[in-house]
């Protein structure tokens, strides 16, 4: 069955430090991949997406993600975290353009 795994329930990083959030998927073909961010009580904001082409994609707010087919991964990175980045991050897979399934989410805490 198709699935999305975010192995880290929560991560704490210092402000200014680099960040990497992990995401692995299980799917027969190369899916469309997304990262969303959700602040408490809010909806989802799309950070970036991968459909095809260059495997390193740039998103908003200084985020980037790299698609690695051999590892079935789509990890999210940011070189320098800001306190305002504290939120819940969801990796998502769009299966053949039909419906989106989400990982369990990773909550990011940023310490001063």
Which residues make up the interface to another protein (CB under 8 A)? 32, 34, 36, 41-44, 46, 49, 90, 94, 97-105, 107
Q: Are 81 and 13 in contact (CB under 8 A)?
A: yes
Longest Cα–Cα distance of the chain, Å, equals 42
Pairing between strand 10-14 and 106-111?
Answer: parallel
Q: How many CB atoms lie within 10 A of CB 45?
A: 13
Residue 50, token pair as written in the block: 């991968």
CB-nearer residue toward another protein: 11 or 44: 44
50 within 8 A of 61, measured Cβ to Cβ: no
Minimum separation from the CB atom of position 101 to another protein (A) = 7
In whole angstroms, how close is the CB of 33 to another protein at the nearest point? 10
Kindly tell me which of 67 and 90 has the beta carbon lying closer to another protein. Answer: 90
> Any alpha helices (H) in the chain, and if so which ranges?
none
Cβ at position 48, least distance to another protein in Å: 11
User: Shortest Cβ distance from residue 105 to another protein (Å)?
Assistant: 5
Q: Which is nearer to another protein, 15 or 75 (CB)?
A: 75
């Amino acid at each position: 069955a198709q699935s999305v795994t975010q192995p880290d329930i929560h991560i704490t990083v210092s402000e200014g430090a680099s960040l990497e959030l992990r995401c692995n998927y299980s799917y027969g073909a190369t899916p469309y991949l997304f990262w969303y961010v959700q602040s408490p009580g809010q909806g989802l904001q799309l950070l970036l997406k991968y459909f095809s082409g260059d495997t390193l994609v740039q998103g908003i707010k200084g985020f980037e993600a790299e698609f690695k087919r051999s590892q079935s991964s789509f990890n999210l990175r940011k070189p320098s975290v800001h306190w305002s980045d504290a939120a819940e991050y969801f990796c998502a897979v769009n299966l053949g353009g039909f419906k989106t399934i989400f990982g369990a989410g990773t909550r990011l805490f940023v310490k001063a």
